[in-house]
């Protein structure tokens, strides 16, 4: 079964519009890219789309009620909202240090969620 | 509390531009560097930009805004940069005096040998693009909404329409979606995206948030809180196309319609602004037309990447430090001549050490009170006497003199000041 | 237990507050009720802030008499209540030769109405005094007694002075109906209870028709809301130092280009008659109309310097009515009706309502005296309402003294207008407490600058929440349902 999908490559600011032809679930052609990065992007985005996720987590006794956190590496796109739900369950005690691990190996992705900044006590 | 009232380099704003300038100014040899920040912590706008996208150029990493700021905060403090937080600058004068105000530190007056303006931008408002309609609560610029969500920890709305496809609007579309709000539509009046394509993909396309080009908000409904917005398509002259109107029920309208460099302080300091950028005219070292006043970052013109703001900040910091060092050199050439005990005034008031060669220097003075007996006129450097002279009497009505001779110059050059005193013998 | 007052004033606009203040001078308990969360939210909230000289109203009307008499009272009023007021003088500008005769008509009215200090100036003299004026100016009427003021501070100051002298003010209190004893008003029913009083004064502005109809007075009088839109300019970019009117038309005084006491130049208003008393929207056609009118007087204005737009409603009366000799939309109603006792009725107080307000208050006192009220002056009446510090108006030297005295004045909250935390706190705890964002904005001028609240809103919300002892989620823009925030981003005990 042949299908075509369009993607915008975001490897660099150019933003080439890619047309990816798949046959039996395998990429047979990538059109519209202006460099190799587009081919890599198409592979990644079709089979294992990933995103960096940044959000905030509740803090107890902190200078602010929240501290910003992020995934150390891009996480699978289909898991974004589940990951956000996991973060919602957590309340971390101040003080927080930048890069402190807030959730280790979130939802078995092998990726940690870490603090983006120092946050002192209230 | 402020320990000094004069600094080599004073930097206004601790966003990426200000912090970079602080770090580089110190590395370039400025003796004291002070950063004045109106918020209660350092980092400026970076603190609320919790998304990734910072540091690609400088660190070869993909960091969130606060982490990027943290690098520079840590480096500044390690280098001994001083800070004054929760303090707002009220006025900068052309001769580089700064008036600032703070609940914690009180009213502050300092002098800077060099200044770096790094105040960033403000957001274009609803009124500036004249969106018709009612004026309910719930109309926010995207940056203000971002502050509420990320710092204050409060949601400004649940059902949101965003006007403008600039990066701040796109980022907030994703952020609000992450926190459970529904972003109904993003409208952009131009026929193309204002922000980065990456943000279109990862903030709108990923979440099926519709984006309409050539559309704008025609009317805002709601007496107390936003109830709906009416959007419409526009033609090439930005006139509404009849029949294209659509009502979108919502409780929040976010505006991401442009940034404007914030130069009110610059203007008051006599800094000339470029009407096209809205920011100061600067040279390659980021110096404005006012000697010793430099500017870096969004206050000069709007950047896409904080990394490039940092590079501009480095330039300004370096320029400011060099300027300050030159002033210090000039200052240290001069030593004050102080009117001491029973002396009303002395002229000259300063001696330029560079000019001390073979010519005598005559100090002219008047005494405060008469002494009708033999009197000693002395010049000393605080520790040792440099020269003296005896007078039969001294009277305020009759000017006295004392001469500094070339053989005294060796002592004078070492002094930080010299004092003239008059005492009975 | 029945709350018994001597005078109840319905409506907390400038007319109601100045009447309450005037009544507080005399023996008797005064209550002012206002349906919104703050005083000054009706017509007084959005107008041109002009204290008119009085050449415009038709001679021999109550409007003309109240305008000229009231205008002369503003120096004393501003001096006692300590709010910004200046006799800047105004120009009525004739553009082109065809408009010049209209100036002569106004000059005739000025003489008949007893307006001092008016003269007609030739075109070149007008151009000398206002360099931005259109080159087509053929002349202008110069009225030296015209003034500009801050109507919000005037209203708040009057209400505060009333409270200082024993009056009560109840906000969020809406009149519903009268309590009658035969043909006598003896009290009012509101959404917050019943209040009894010997007299009730109708200062309800846009709703004055509703109030008087509840007493069976003037059933054919109807308020037609007249919407006027405005533009506000950045004072750093646009400096017009004068008050410029066009020649009037049957739509009214026309679209002004005028300075204000805060230094901003404003344009407006147009005049659109609508039905909805809650409709204070700005419209594309309205804004276009104002732009055209303003450009006629000052061609060099540019839209890129606009920092705010707003609209207000004036309570115009509805044209000629059955009662002979009275034309509702050309005159004020200030009367004690014959058919109902215990009721002082005001209606149709649109322009020149602001200028007339102190004279209208005096007229109400005179009417009460004629009706047999003793009106005995209180021995300890204090006319002075002391001013509060305004950081933005102070020199650096005075600012330092203020901050040294109270560090809360050191924290600037509104960057564009230099309004400090100390001032905000003072207004929250003032005799007429400011409990919403807009209330603070009206009193301190915060949020009216370039960033239109972009920087200060989160901080004002925080201060209001702290000072009022409530969650920031409860803070509103203008009371009622106008909350800023919905819920915490993440559930947290704050």
Contact with chain C for residue B289, Cβ under 8 A: no
Task: Identify the bridge partners of residue C265 per DSSP, sorted by sequence position.
Answer: C259
- Are C452 and B125 within 8 A, CB to CB? yes
Query: What is the second-level CATH architecture of the domain C4-45+151-222+319-370?
Result: 3-Layer(bba) Sandwich (3.50)
Q: If you average pLDDT over residues C99-115, what whole number do you get?
A: 95
- Alpha helices for A3-100 (secondary structure H): 36-47, 80-88
- Are C416 and B264 within 8 A, CB to CB? yes
**C330 — pLDDT class (breaks 50, 70, 90):** confident
pLDDT score of A15? 84
Mutation site for A-interface testing, chosen from C465, C492, C493 by largest number of A Cβ within 10 Å: C492
Smallest CA–CA separation between A73 and chain B, in Å?
A: 9
| Residue C327 reports pLDDT greater than 90 | no
Q: Where are the domains of chain C?
A: 4-45+151-222+319-370, 86-147+225-317, 391-474
Distance of CA B383 to the CA centre of its chain: 42
User: How far, in Å, CA of A2 to CA of B287, rounded?
Assistant: 61
pLDDT score of C493? 40
| Strand arrangement of the beta sheet that strand B215-221 belongs to | B215-221, B228-233, B246-249
pLDDT score of B2? 67
**Partners of residue C492 in chain A, C-beta under 8 Å:** 58-59, 65-66, 91
Residues of A in CB contact (< 8 Å) with B are 8, 10, 13-15, 51-56, 63-66, 68, 70, 77, 84, 98-99, 116-118
| Residue B1 reports pLDDT greater than 80 | no
Average pLDDT over chain B, rounded to whole?
95
User: How far, in Å, CA of B221 to CA of C143, rounded?
Assistant: 41
Following DSSP, what letter does each residue of C33-58 receive, concatenated?
Answer: E-SSSSSS-SGGGSS--EE--SSSSP
| C367 burial level (CB within 10 Å; 0-12, 13-18, 19+) | middle
Taking 70 as the pLDDT cut, the residues of chain A under it are none
pLDDT score of C494? 39
**How many CB pairs lie under 8 A apart between chains A and C?**
16
pLDDT score of C304? 87
Which distant-in-sequence residues (6+ apart) come within 8 Å of B338 by Cβ? B346, B417, B418, B419, B420
Least confident among C53-67, C81-95, C320-334: C320-334
pLDDT cut 90: percent of chain B above it:
92
CA distances to B298, C121, C404, C443 from C426, rounded to whole Å, are: 35, 46, 17, 10
What does the pLDDT look like over B253-311, one tens digit per residue? Answer: 999 999 999 999 999 999 999 999 999 999 999 999 999 999 999 999 999 889 999 99
pLDDT score of C412? 96
Which residue, A5, A23, A92, A26, is CA-closest to A57? A92
pLDDT score of B354? 83
| Residue C250 reports pLDDT greater than 80 | no
pLDDT score of C318? 84
pLDDT score of C421? 97
Smallest CA–CA separation between C454 and chain A, in Å?
A: 20
**B329 — pLDDT class (breaks 50, 70, 90):** confident
User: How far, in Å, CA of C30 to CA of C158, rounded?
Assistant: 13
User: How far, in Å, CA of C395 to CA of C382, rounded?
Assistant: 30
What does the pLDDT look like over C263-272, one tens digit per residue? Answer: 999 999 999 9
Same fold, C4-45+151-222+319-370 and C391-474: no
What does the pLDDT look like over C427-485, one tens digit per residue? Answer: 999 999 999 999 999 999 999 998 899 999 999 999 999 999 999 999 999 998 999 99
Distance of CA A59 to the CA centre of its chain: 23
Q: What is the reported pTM?
A: 0.90
User: How far, in Å, CA of C466 to CA of C478, rounded?
Assistant: 18
User: How far, in Å, CA of A6 to CA of B293, rounded?
Assistant: 51
Residues B420, B340 contacting (CB under 8 angstroms) = yes
User: How far, in Å, CA of C174 to CA of A15, rounded?
Assistant: 59
Select from A15, A52, A63 the Cβ nearest to the Cβ of B52.
Answer: A52
What would the CATH number be for the domain defined by C86-147+225-317? 3.30.9.10
> Tokens for C426?
């003072």
Q: Which domains does chain A have, with CATH numbers?
A: 2-47 (2.20.25), 54-115 (3.10.530.10)
Average pLDDT over chain C, rounded to whole?
94
| Residue C1 reports pLDDT greater than 60 | no
Smallest CA–CA separation between B70 and chain C, in Å?
A: 23
Which distant-in-sequence residues (6+ apart) come within 8 Å of B95 by Cβ? none
User: How far, in Å, CA of C216 to CA of C310, rounded?
Assistant: 35
User: How far, in Å, CA of C314 to CA of C43, rounded?
Assistant: 6
Give the angle C432-C434-C437 at the CA atoms, nearest 5°: 160
| C138 burial level (CB within 10 Å; 0-12, 13-18, 19+) | middle
Catalytic (active site) residue C52: yes
What does the pLDDT look like over C46-68, one tens digit per residue? Answer: 999 999 999 999 888 899 999 99
Mutation site for C-interface testing, chosen from A58, A59, A93 by largest number of C Cβ within 10 Å: A58
pLDDT score of B378? 96
- Are B198 and A51 within 8 A, CB to CB? no
Smallest CA–CA separation between B189 and chain C, in Å?
A: 16
Mutation site for A-interface testing, chosen from C461, C471, C490 by largest number of A Cβ within 10 Å: C490
**Partners of residue A102 in chain C, C-beta under 8 Å:** none
Stated as kind and residue range, the H or E segment containing C422 is helix C421-428
pLDDT score of C325? 66
Cβ neighbours, 10 Å, residue C171: 20
> Tokens for A81?
């909202």
DSSP character for B202? I
CATH class as words, domain C391-474: mainly alpha
Least confident among B9-13, B140-144, C313-317: C313-317
Q: If you average pLDDT over residues B403-419, what whole number do you get?
A: 91
What does the pLDDT look like over B122-174, one tens digit per residue? Answer: 999 999 999 999 999 999 999 999 999 999 999 999 999 999 999 999 999 99
Q: Alpha-carbon dihedral of residues B62, B66, B72, B77, nearest 10 degrees?
A: -150
pLDDT cut 90: percent of chain C above it:
90
Q: What is the 3-state secondary structure (H, E, C) of C57-104?
A: CCCCCHHHHHHHHHHHCHHHHHHHHCCCEECCCEEEEEECHHHHHHHH
| Residue C405 reports pLDDT greater than 90 | yes
User: How far, in Å, CA of C162 to CA of C39, rounded?
Assistant: 13
* Radius of gyration of the CA atoms of chain C, in A: 23
Q: If you average pLDDT over residues B400-407, what whole number do you get?
A: 94
Provide the ipTM.
Answer: 0.92
> Tokens for C427?
């207004």
Q: Alpha-carbon dihedral of residues A98, A103, A107, A108, nearest 10 degrees?
A: 80
Cis upstream peptide for C152 (omega within 30°) = no
pLDDT score of C417? 94
What does the pLDDT look like over B25-80, one tens digit per residue? Answer: 999 999 999 999 999 999 999 999 999 999 989 999 999 999 999 999 999 999 99
Q: Which domains does chain B have, with CATH numbers?
A: 6-121+260-332 (3.50.50.60), 125-257 (3.50.50.60), 340-424 (2.60.40)
Locus of tokens 């912090």: B19
Q: If you average pLDDT over residues C198-215, what whole number do you get?
A: 97
| Residue C323 reports pLDDT greater than 60 | no
Contact with chain C for residue A65, Cβ under 8 A: yes
Which residue, B86, B87, B113, B114, is CA-closest to B99? B87
> Tokens for B341?
């005990």
Q: If you average pLDDT over residues C341-352, what whole number do you get?
A: 94
Locus of tokens 């001092």: C116
What does the pLDDT look like over B224-241, one tens digit per residue? Answer: 999 999 999 999 999 999
């Amino acid at each position: 079964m042949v299908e075509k999908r369009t993607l915008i490559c975001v490897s660099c600011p150019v933003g080439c519009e890619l047309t990816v032809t798949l046959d039996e679930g395998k990429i047979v052609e990538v059109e519209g890219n202006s460099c190799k990065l587009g081919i890599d992007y198409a592979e990644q985005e079709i089979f294992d789309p990933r995103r960096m996720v940044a959000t905030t987590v509740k803090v107890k006794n902190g200078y602010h009620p929240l501290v910003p956190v992020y995934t150390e590496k891009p996480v699978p796109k289909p898991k974004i909202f589940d990951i956000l739900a996991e973060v919602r369950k957590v309340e971390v005690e101040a003080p927080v240090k930048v890069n402190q691990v807030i959730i280790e190996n979130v939802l078995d992705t092998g990726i940690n969620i870490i603090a983006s900044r120092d946050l002192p006590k209230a | 509390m402020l320990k000094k009232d004069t600094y080599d380099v004073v930097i206004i704003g601790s966003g990426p531009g200000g912090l970079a300038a602080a770090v580089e100014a110190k590395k370039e040899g400025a003796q004291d560097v002070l950063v004045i920040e109106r918020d209660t912590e350092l980092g400026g706008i970076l603190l609320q930009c919790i998304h990734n996208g910072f540091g690609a150029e400088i660190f070869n990493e993909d960091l969130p805004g606060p982490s990027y700021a943290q690098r520079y905060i840590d480096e500044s403090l390690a280098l001994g940069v001083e800070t004054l937080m929760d303090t707002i600058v009220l006025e900068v004068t052309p001769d580089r005096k700064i008036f600032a105000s703070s609940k914690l530190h009180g009213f502050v007056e300092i002098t800077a040998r060099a200044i770096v303006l790094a105040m960033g931008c403000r957001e274009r408002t609803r009124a500036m693009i004249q969106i018709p309609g009612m004026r309910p609560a719930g109309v926010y610029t995207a940056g203000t909404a971002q502050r509420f969500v990320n710092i204050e920890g409060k949601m400004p709305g649940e059902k949101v329409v965003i006007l403008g496809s600039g990066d701040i609007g796109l980022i907030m579309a994703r952020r609000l979606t992450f926190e459970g709000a529904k972003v109904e539509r993003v409208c952009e009046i131009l026929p193309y995206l204002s922000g980065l394509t990456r943000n279109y993909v990862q903030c709108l396309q990923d979440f099926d948030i519709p984006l309409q080009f050539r559309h704008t908000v025609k009317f805002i409904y709601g007496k107390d809180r936003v109830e709906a917005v009416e959007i419409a398509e526009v033609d090439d002259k930005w006139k509404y196309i009849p029949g294209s109107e659509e009502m979108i029920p919502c409780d929040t309208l976010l505006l991401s319609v442009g940034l404007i460099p914030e130069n009110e302080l610059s203007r008051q300091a006599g800094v000339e602004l470029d009407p096209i950028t809205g920011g100061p005219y600067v040279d390659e070292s980021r110096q404005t037309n006012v000697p010793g006043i430099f500017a870096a970052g969004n206050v000069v013109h709007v950047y896409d990447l904080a990394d490039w703001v940092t590079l501009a900040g480095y330039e300004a910091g370096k320029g400011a430090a060099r300027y300050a060092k030159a002033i210090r050199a000039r200052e240290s050439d001069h030593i004050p001549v102080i009117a001491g005990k029973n002396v009303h005034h002395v002229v000259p008031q300063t001696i330029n050490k560079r000019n001390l060669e073979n010519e005598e220097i005559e100090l002219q003075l008047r005494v405060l009170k008469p002494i009708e007996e033999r009197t000693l006129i002395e010049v000393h450097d605080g520790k040792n006497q440099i020269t003296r002279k005896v007078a039969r009497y001294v009277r305020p009505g009759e000017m006295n003199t004392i001469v500094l001779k070339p053989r005294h110059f060796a002592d004078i050059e070492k002094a930080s000041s010299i004092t003239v005193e008059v005492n009975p013998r | 237990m029945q709350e018994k007052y001597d005078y109840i004033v319905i409506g907390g606009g400038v007319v109601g507050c100045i009447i309450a203040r005037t009544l507080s001078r005399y023996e008797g308990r005064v209550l002012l009720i206002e349906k919104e969360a703050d005083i000054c939210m009706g017509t007084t909230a959005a107008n041109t802030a002009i204290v008119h000289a009085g050449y415009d109203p038709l001679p021999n009307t109550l409007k003309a008499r109240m305008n000229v008499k009231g205008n002369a009272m503003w120096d004393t009023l501003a001096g006692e209540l300590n709010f910004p007021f200046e006799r800047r003088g105004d120009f009525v500008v004739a553009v082109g030769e065809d408009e010049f005769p209209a100036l002569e008509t106004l000059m005739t009215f000025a003489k008949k109405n007893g307006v001092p200090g008016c003269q007609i100036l030739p075109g070149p003299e007008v151009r000398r005094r206002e360099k931005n004026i259109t080159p087509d100016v053929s002349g202008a009427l110069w009225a030296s007694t015209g003034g500009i003021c801050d109507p919000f501070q005037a209203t708040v100051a009057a209400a505060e002075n009333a409270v200082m002298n024993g009056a009560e003010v109840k906000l969020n209190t809406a009149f519903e109906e009268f309590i009658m004893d035969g043909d006598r008003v003896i009290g009012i029913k509101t959404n917050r209870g019943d209040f009894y009083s010997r007299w009730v004064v109708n200062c309800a502005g846009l709703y004055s028709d509703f109030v008087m109809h509840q007493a069976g007075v003037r059933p054919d009088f109807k308020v037609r809301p007249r919407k006027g839109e405005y533009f506000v300019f950045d004072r750093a970019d646009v400096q017009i130092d004068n008050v410029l009117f066009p020649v009037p038309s049957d739509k009214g005084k026309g679209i002004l280009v005028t300075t204000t006491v805060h230094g901003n130049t404003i344009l407006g208003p147009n005049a659109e008659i609508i039905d909805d008393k809650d409709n204070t929207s700005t419209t594309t056609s309205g804004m276009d109309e104002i732009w055209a009118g303003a450009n006629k007087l000052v061609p060099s204005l540019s839209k890129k310097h606009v920092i705010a737009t707003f609209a207000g409603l004036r309570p115009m009366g509805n044209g000629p009515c059955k009662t002979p000799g009275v034309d509702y939309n050309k005159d004020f109603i200030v009367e004690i009706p014959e058919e109902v006792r215990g009721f002082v009725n005001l209606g149709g107080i649109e322009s020149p309502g602001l200028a007339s307000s102190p004279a209208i208050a005096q007229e109400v006192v005179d009417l009460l005296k004629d009706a047999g009220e003793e009106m005995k002056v209180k021995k300890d009446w204090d006319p002075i309402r002391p001013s509060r510090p305004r950081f933005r108006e102070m020199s650096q030297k005075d600012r330092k003294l203020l901050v040294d005295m109270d560090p809360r004045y050191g924290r600037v909250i509104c960057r564009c207008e230099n309004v400090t935390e100390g001032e905000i706190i003072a207004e929250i705890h003032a005799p007429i407490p400011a409990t919403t964002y807009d209330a603070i904005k009206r009193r301190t001028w915060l949020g009216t600058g370039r960033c239109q609240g972009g920087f200060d809103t989160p901080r004002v919300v925080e201060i209001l929440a702290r000072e009022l002892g409530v969650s920031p989620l409860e803070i509103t823009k203008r009371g009622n349902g106008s909350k800023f925030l919905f819920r915490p981003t993440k559930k947290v005990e704050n």
